[in-house]
Amino acid sequence: MYNLDVKTAIRQAGFFGYEVAAALGISETCFSRQLSRAELSSEKKEKIMGIILKMVEKRAEKGGV
């Protein structure tokens, strides 16, 4: 299984793949394929992890969980 660290980060942050895909500006299908077909480059992983962090911060600002 590829990209377990990214998938785990999404789950632990309390988001779904489609939410991260939307934040990245790509379709859920495209994002799912990227995660399942091959290990992402470290640059892409860093970008996704940064997006997840921003999403968590934004949710905290709104008073979410």
The DSSP annotation for the chain comes to: ---HHHHHHHHHHT--HHHHHHHHTS-HHHHHHHHHHSPPPHHHHHHHHHHHHHHHHHHHHTT--
Q: Per-residue pLDDT for 38 more than 90? A: yes
At 10-35, the pLDDT tens digits run 999 999 999 999 999 999 999 999 99
CA distance 59 to 37: 30
pLDDT at residue 8, rounded to an integer: 98
Q: What pLDDT shows up at residue 26?
A: 98
Q: What confidence score (pLDDT) does residue 65 get?
A: 63
Say whether pLDDT at 37 is over 80: yes
pLDDT at 64 over 90: no
Asked whether the beta carbons of 5 and 36 are under 8 A apart, the reply is no
